[in-house]
Chain A
Amino acid sequence: MTGNDTPASVVEVKTSLGEVGYLADEPAALVSYLAQRLGKPVLVEGPAGVGKTELAKALSRSTGRELIRLQCYEGLDEAKALYEWNYRKQLLRIQAEATTDPRGAESGASERDDRFDESERAGDEQPAGHAWEDIFSEEFILTRPLLAAIASEEPVVLLIDEIDKTDQEFEAMLLEVLSDFQISIPELGAVAARTRPLVVLTSNNSRELTEALKRRCLYLWLDYPSVEREMEIVRLHAPDLDEQLARRLVEVVHMVRSLDLKKPPSIAESIDWARAVLLLGADDLDRSVFERTISIIVKHRTDLDLVAERVGVKLAEQQAEAAG
């Protein structure tokens, strides 16, 4: 492992993350620090929109490493995640070989026969054309995120997003990558990592991940931040926002989160909301502003009703009190 860019202390990680616009709390900073020191992957879990993906992006910015992202979805397979042979290029190569090959000109009464002949040769007469050594070389590999991260000359940050969306077979395949940092390609042998990537896996906990995967990772649970911290975050991204207003806004967001909603507002949405309020030029979060902008943080019909009923009323009361 390269020793020059590993941080010396947790505080250092925390400040460097802060410099790139990610306010990490104590556990997040510590786990990021451990990940860099121990070279272990980090599994980040938590509700949607608490900055799991953002943590990986911030790590890439703060360490100056390139971010390679693998977005998981159901049905993701090796060909999309690891590598794939470039069929078209291989075919072209074979055809090019065939036209220059004198034996190709001899055979071939009809076009159909020709093709049949060719595919037969593929099975039985491998040594005949030296194309066969060539077409399974690195030149014909299409690298996908995992192989790209492993093979990169420079150390990278590898983000495997929403790992819980994939199936268990894919997880099993990841194990080799995560523990040994190598990928076996049958035709080429194992490709080992030149540099050790910093791996971040995120999960929305929609299914239980396998023990084997968890065992290889450091675990970090990210939750919605406290009012104070979220206020800092909001003010970092909307610096023109008045402090008093920011506090009101974050408090309302917390109130909304405490309701039983289909989709509670994420941090990104509270930032968006802050910006919207700023654009509207409102200097207080009264009921009319609230009602006009509520769709920024609440995005379900039924949720809207509930929020309007609960929070809207409360706002009106507070307003009346302030006035009276």
Chain B
Amino acid sequence: MSSTDQRAANDLPPGLGPRLVAFCEELRREGLSVGTSEILDAFEALETVPWTESTDFREAMAATLAKSQEDRRVFDLLFERFFFRAAEAEALRQGISEQNRFEPGGELDLDELREAIRQAIAEGRDGEMRDLARLAIAAFGRRGEGSGVVGVDVQRIRRTLGLQVQGRTDPDGHGDVLTLDRESLNQFERHLRRELERTLIERTDRLPASRPLAELDRALPTSPAQDLAAVHRAVAQLKRRLATLGHEQRGRRKGAIVDVRRTMRASLETGGVPLRLRHRPRRPRRPEIYVLCDVSTSVTSASVFFLSVLHALHDSFRKLRSFVFIERISEVTDAFERERDFRRISERISREGGVADVSGYTDYGRVWLEFESEISEDLDPRSTVIVLGDARTNGREPHADSFARLSQRAGRTFWLNPEPRLYWNYGDSVMAAYERHCDGAFECWTTKHLEGFVNVVAGGAPLTD
């Protein structure tokens, strides 16, 4: 290390170094690529900041270890957990307990507490929130409803206190009514969770086993119960990628045709001798895309996600026609073009899509027949057909021959299946029958899958040109 300031390094307590390396190990386990050079950088950075300041310490670590926004999110989750656990372990070892200090005197009035908490959350006072979280746990504990499972208790306490997120778009009456935005409510929940964990550790006198971050925290939010905004954040990223996709391939890659005018122009630099050939740049592929999206109940969780993807695609590809289907198929291109707001689009589609007939179960066979008779004249070798669905026919005739004809007319056909590949062709899934006719079938249940797929569509792999 090149630092002239060796003092800080010598002052490190014997335990910190190994502990930081252990922390980096945990980051690696969660999939961050933390190389030895990053760890060295982190140590070097820590030499120059006062690591007794928690923000400085944390930011210095983050700047050297977490190299993307996604990494940063994982880093924050882990950082919180790791040092919380470290502190608790130390407290256990030294037998420090705060059981006695923390037992509120008088009877707690739940309503008063509720009001105080709402106030603290609305104003975002962090320290107060923590104290109130403890009070809430104590009050709650006295009512004897604790289940001993942290996650369950957090939700119960929240419900008891009547804390809810208020929709931002709702007109909120007066200016000074307390609206709790999701962010600060989450913050309060984190306090609750942490304090509950602390009391649990004190009660049982040991640390619970450390688990990898739940997949739920990491993977795509797909279920409708989860926040739509989270889906959108994932798609917003994708949108940016889509907007510039294919550009980097254009760059300097030479086309096949020599551009005579530019070659002559360039030859002036070498005294009229055309030493360097200039080529015409290759034009990026502008695909015409047809997207068919299953919106039946068997894929409800995924279709929220798919619809929002569709929404994003509409912003990026000009020639895009979208269809939704359950038993019948219906074109929704207009809805997407007119409406900017995703929530309304999904409402409109469910209201006037006219895709459910009797049973509400997907009928792939019928959908292909309809699509073939109504739309297929428009398909040509330049068009790309993308199907989003799980290929579960509910035991009806799959009409794979009709699908085959469609894929023959279209230049490329892709299938995105929201189920992991493992489940394909089990039960009523007839994926194999369709996959045969596709240029590619992909499982698609994380943004990563999706991004990989988008790369293929927008010209990453030249399948037909």
Contacts and interface: CB of A to CB of B under 8 A. Distances in A.
Q: Are A and B interaction partners?
A: yes
Contacts of A277: none
A207 B244 contact: yes
Nearest to A26: B55
Interface stretch (B63-71, B133-141, B372-380, B420-428): B63-71
B406 interface: no
A207 B269 contact: no
A34 B60 contact: yes
Interface in B39-75: 41, 44-45, 48-50, 55-56, 59-60, 62-64, 66-69, 72
Q: Taking chain B's interface residues, is the majority helix, strand, or loop, or is none over half, making it mixed? A: helix
B38 A74 contact: no
B67 A219 contact: yes
Contacts, number: 111
A43 B68 CA distance: 10
A229 interface: no
A260 B340 contact: yes
Interface of B: 4, 33, 35, 37-38, 41, 44-45, 48-50, 55-56, 59-60, 62-64, 66-69, 72, 168-169, 171, 174-175, 232, 237, 240-241, 243-244, 247-248, 250-252, 269-273, 315, 340-342
Contact of A321 (B175, B237, B340): B175
Contacts of A167: 248, 251-252
B247 A74 contact: yes
A93 B89 CA distance: 76
Interface in A1-59: 3, 9-10, 26-27, 30-31, 33-34, 37-38, 40, 43, 45
Nearest to B343: A260
Given A38-B41, A318-B175, A45 B68 contact: yes
A218 interface: yes
A214 B66 CA distance: 9
A295 interface: no
A30 B273 contact: no
B44 A38 contact: yes
A214 B67 contact: yes
Nearest to B311: A260
B63 A219 contact: yes
A118 B251 CA distance: 35
Contact of B171 (A40, A88, A317): A317
Contacts of A219: 62-64, 66-68, 72
B240 A30 contact: no
B49 A10 contact: yes
Of B66, B68, B272, most buried by chain A (CB within 10 Å of CB) is B68
Interface stretch (A99-107, A135-143, A149-157, A302-310): A302-310
A127 interface: no
Given A31-B63, A206-B241, A262 B41 contact: no
Contacts of A115: 271-272
Interface in A217-266: 217-221, 258, 260, 262
